[in-house]
Structure 1
Amino acid sequence: MTFKTKLFLITLFPVLLVSGLMLWVITFQSTRLAQSQAQTVEAMVIALKREELKNYVTLARNALSPIYQSTLTPTRQAQRQAREIVRKMTFGEDSYFFIYDEEGKNIVNPRLTYLVGSSWIGLTDKDGRHVVKDLIDRARSGGEFYSFVWKKPSSGEYVEKLGYSVFFEKWGWMLGTGIYLDDVSKQVLPVQAELENNIRQTQLVLVVLSLGAILMTAMVIAVARFSEQKMADSRLKELAARLVDVQEQERKRVSRELHDGISQLLVSARYGLDLALDRAKGRGAVSDPISKSMTTLDNAISEVRRISMALRPSVLDDMGLAAAVKSLASEFSRQTGIDVDVDTERSRKLLSDEARTALYRVVQEALTNVARHSGADRVKIGLKVKRGYVDLTMEDNGVGLASEENRGAVSSGLGIRNMQERVESFGGRIRFSRTAGGGLAIHARLPIEQSMLAEINEA
């Protein structure tokens, strides 16, 4: 894993961690809030149901009061009338009134009629509560709410029920009613479902916002990395151009010293030996060593001139790029035996010294690759001035980059990269392709500098 990748992950990790913690905290708090609100709603509904039950019992008691308090109607007739009234007082599918006497005998139950006529004083629910007895006791104490498990008429299941009862002392009756609490839960369920839906929507919004934050962070990091990379590439190009410039300056200095210093000294020594040879004519013992030394000096002078030209040809500074390319091609053809055809146009005032040097080095590098790897016997070099550009083309009839061996040999060094960097540092471009005959074609283009055009126009 690269350092930049590690830095990218380290930068994103806090955002991911904070987003995850926020999502967990909000989910946890929202769930607790939903449960709390559901419990609050349930408590409110039960409180309303308690008040409703109390009102129902009060209404039933008021409905029976005229009969219960009447002294004109016999007791049995009054009780019979009261039973008929209570039997008809139902509300809802599972809500009804019931009457038990003080011994636990069921007198009225319009829904569970099989209970009527039997005593249920000892009846207990699944939790061990004496339902009828407890209802009678609470009715005697003035009326209290009481929870118990009872059979629901509509479903036949035993569910939790909330009851309320009052006592008719004169008749020894307990009158009561109740509601099944599973109906309350059904009323609370939509509220709870709505709360859970809101929680899910909140979570979704948070996830989207977190993803957006992560994406924005990633984009900012990517932009920063791209900007940093672009700046680094720019600085690297500037450094490469500076190194090339320093290298060319050093080559120029060394070439000048070789040409103007060592070469001149060797030529002076050659003249001295030539003079000594003239004076030693007829003396074989002296003239033969002098002749050999002169030959050695001639070779040394030629080598110094070759090295000087390879470092920095003086013709490039004195006569321009076209003459330098012709001189280089001529020397290359003489040394390698490869035929070089040169077609150039003068471009000395169209390019800066550095740009001319860059194109010259491209030609030099390309010819070196031809000699080492191409197997060609003919090279064509073209240097043309076009509208706004100076074009350099080179083609050979060798193997080009067709074979893996040759491609690796050419690209393994820094030659092609150096050519690309030299040309691109001056805003130009270079392209490598195959010729129709399978050889290598190089096309380099450098833009003519506006400052150079201005100088030409002024001239």
Structure 2
Amino acid sequence: MQLRLKLILMATIPVGVALICMGITTRHQTMSLANEERKLVEAAYLHSKETELRHYVELARSTIERIAESSDASDTDLQKKAMHVVARMKFGDDGYFFLYDQHGQLLVNPEQMAVANVDLCDPNTPSGQTQAKLILDMAKAGGGLVRYEWHKPSSQILAPKLGYVLQVPVWNWVVGTGLYLDDVQETLARIDEHAKNNIAATQRRIYLIAALCMVLIASAGVLLNLKDHRISSVKLRRLAQRVVHSQEEERARVARDLHDGVVQVLVSSKFLLETAQLQQQYAAPQDGVAPNGKALDQGLARLNDALTEIRRVSHGLRPALLDDLGLPAALALLSEQMCKGGATHVRFGPCSEAQPIPNTHATALYRVAQEAVKNACTHANACDVLVSLRIDPRSIALVVQDNGQGFDIQRVLADGNRGIGLRNMRERIEALDGQFSISASRLGTRIVATLPLHAEAGNDTALPHSRFDSSYAPA
């Protein structure tokens, strides 16, 4: 695994884990706060309900006591009047009062009550026996709150109910009423739903922040990678240029050594042998036998061959015309030399006047032309090769076109043992921010190498004679 990927993972994983832990903690804390709020709301509601019920029941008990204290009727009539008044008392939509005597029997008739569809807790029926027992037991204990479930008059559904009961000492009655708690449950349900929505919204924000953090970290990694890649590409390009420059300098040094050293020795040796040959020709014969000059002739012939080969190698390493007269002249000489002793006709197209060519550009294009012409003559079995050079103020383009048999570009490049020359040509051109293209078919191969001039012309020393007179090109 790459170091940069490890650093990105080391940065993203802790952030992701921290955000997940933050989300879990936030959810836990929010739920805890929601539960606390729910308990507080429920306690507040129940306290208000309890206070409200106590007031209602005390009001009913005081009403009964005032009726009982009046002396204008018999006790039975007063009790009937009290039962009628209590039956007609109501509050809210579903609020009513109930009365039990000292034996636990219902005293209020549901049909006479102000609230319709009332079902009282009758101890004589199976459905109301348990609730009636709770109410009577609480009243005997001094009164208080009673919780049970009962049918709500307005909806006829079973709902939780909070009742409050008190004793009426004057007749030993039990009076009470109740409030249904379904509205409290709905309020608590809304609180729970609101808490869940808040938790979900908070988690979405946390996940969005996490995603943004991941994107920022990934973007920073990508930018860093691109920046490093760009810097590495620039360094590699400079290194390639230095390598090529070093190769050219070494070739120039070897060419100078061959020309100034070995060639001079061979030339002086040739002069000495020629002098000896002339002296032998004009020497008087001894004993009537003329001296044999065959060995000297063979030595001179071998020496001429050695001089020709060394000059060819010296010019191939670093042609003097490239430094003296410029790229067009060197390409013209290359075309002329490749035509000698071969079946391939190499032509160099005339080149128009243009601005000076940088030394690095001229060297790279010359090497590309050298390799391309050599491949056309050696591997493509071409009969005709055209080398042309197009120069304008912004770029210079070298085109090598042959009529050979062509080749499969992809297969040659995929073969590790072949295509080295093509890769070298491409690398030379791309190292100078140029473009290299090659197309091949049965009709021939076309190589185009283009280099920019506007960016490099001021950074490199141009060849002293880059402009070429077309009259120098071989016919």
8 Å contact from structure 2 (residues 119, 153) kept in 1:
no
8 Å contact from structure 2 (residues 151, 157) kept in 1:
yes
State the Cα deviation string for residues 389-421 of structure 1 (Å, max 9, x = none). Answer: 333222111244556555657995343343333
Q: Residue 329 of structure 1 corresponds to which residue in structure 2?
A: 335
Q: Would you say 1:135 and 2:138 are equivalent positions?
A: yes
Q: Residue 359 of structure 1 corresponds to which residue in structure 2?
A: 365
* Farther off after superposition, 416-425 or 110-119: 110-119
Paired amino acid for 1:53:
L
**2:95 partner SS:** coil
Q: Residue 80 of structure 2 corresponds to which residue in structure 1?
A: 80
Note the C-alpha offset of 1:75.
1.8
Paired amino acid for 1:226:
L
Note the C-alpha offset of 1:192.
2.3
Q: Residue 124 of structure 1 corresponds to which residue in structure 2?
A: 130
Output aligned runs, 1:1-16, within 5 Å.
Answer: 4-16=4-16
Note the C-alpha offset of 1:299.
2.6
Note the C-alpha offset of 1:81.
1.3
TM-score, length basis structure 2:
0.83
Query: Take 1:406 and 1:119, find their aligned partners in 2: how far apart are those partners?
Result: 103
Output aligned runs, 1:52-451, within 5 Å.
Answer: 52-108=52-108, 110=110, 113=119, 118=124, 123-124=129-130, 130-138=133-141, 141=142, 143-153=143-153, 159-280=159-280, 287-345=293-351, 350-400=356-406, 405=411, 408=414, 412-433=418-439, 437-447=443-453, 451=458
Which of the two has greater helix per residue? 1
Query: Take 1:192 and 1:232, find their aligned partners in 2: how far apart are those partners?
Result: 59
Note the C-alpha offset of 1:336.
4.0
Count of aligned residue pairs for this structure pair: 448
Note the C-alpha offset of 1:233.
0.7
**2:347 partner SS:** strand
Paired amino acid for 1:208:
L
State the Cα deviation string for residues 8-63 of structure 1 (Å, max 9, x = none). Answer: 44433233222222222222222222232222222221222111211221222233
Query: Take 1:372 and 1:49, find their aligned partners in 2: how far apart are those partners?
Result: 108
TM-score, length basis structure 1:
0.86
Query: Take 2:296 and 2:382, find their aligned partners in 1: how far apart are those partners?
Result: 42
Query: Take 2:350 and 2:415, find their aligned partners in 1: how far apart are those partners?
Result: 29
Cα pair distance change 1:113/1:11, threshold 3 Å = closer
Query: Take 2:26 and 2:266, find their aligned partners in 1: how far apart are those partners?
Result: 91
State the Cα deviation string for residues 118-137 of structure 1 (Å, max 9, x = none). Answer: 499x9436xxx941332222
Note the C-alpha offset of 1:257.
0.7
Cα pair distance change 1:292/1:102, threshold 3 Å = farther
Cα pair distance change 1:212/1:248, threshold 3 Å = same
Cα pair distance change 1:230/1:117, threshold 3 Å = closer
* Farther off after superposition, 344-353 or 370-379: 344-353
Note the C-alpha offset of 1:173.
0.6
Query: Take 1:117 and 1:37, find their aligned partners in 2: how far apart are those partners?
Result: 39
Paired amino acid for 1:205:
R
8 Å contact from structure 1 (residues 146, 162) kept in 2:
yes
Greater RCO structure (CA 8 Å; 6+ sep)? 2
Paired amino acid for 2:134:
V
State the Cα deviation string for residues 147-188 of structure 1 (Å, max 9, x = none). Answer: 234455556665543221111111011111122333321122
8 Å contact from structure 2 (residues 398, 449) kept in 1:
yes
* Farther off after superposition, 406-415 or 178-187: 406-415
Query: Take 1:8 and 1:333, find their aligned partners in 2: how far apart are those partners?
Result: 60
Cα pair distance change 1:150/1:388, threshold 3 Å = closer
Paired amino acid for 2:298:
K
Instruction: Give the share of equivalent positions with the same residue, in percent.
Output: 31
8 Å contact from structure 1 (residues 144, 165) kept in 2:
yes
Paired amino acid for 2:182:
D
* Farther off after superposition, 160-169 or 246-255: 160-169
Cα pair distance change 1:117/1:244, threshold 3 Å = closer
Query: Take 2:292 and 2:140, find their aligned partners in 1: how far apart are those partners?
Result: 155
Query: Take 2:294 and 2:109, find their aligned partners in 1: how far apart are those partners?
Result: 152
Runs (4+) off by over 6 Å = 282-286, 346-349
Cα pair distance change 1:180/1:284, threshold 3 Å = farther
Question: CA RMSD, aligned part only?
Answer: 3.3
* Farther off after superposition, 281-290 or 13-22: 281-290
Note the C-alpha offset of 1:334.
2.2
Query: Take 1:411 and 1:378, find their aligned partners in 2: how far apart are those partners?
Result: 27
Query: Take 1:372 and 1:167, find their aligned partners in 2: how far apart are those partners?
Result: 126
Note the C-alpha offset of 1:286.
7.1
**1:108 partner SS:** coil
Query: Take 1:263 and 1:289, find their aligned partners in 2: how far apart are those partners?
Result: 22
8 Å contact from structure 1 (residues 344, 384) kept in 2:
no
**2:130 partner SS:** coil
8 Å contact from structure 1 (residues 369, 410) kept in 2:
no
Note the C-alpha offset of 1:344.
3.6
Cα pair distance change 1:117/1:249, threshold 3 Å = closer
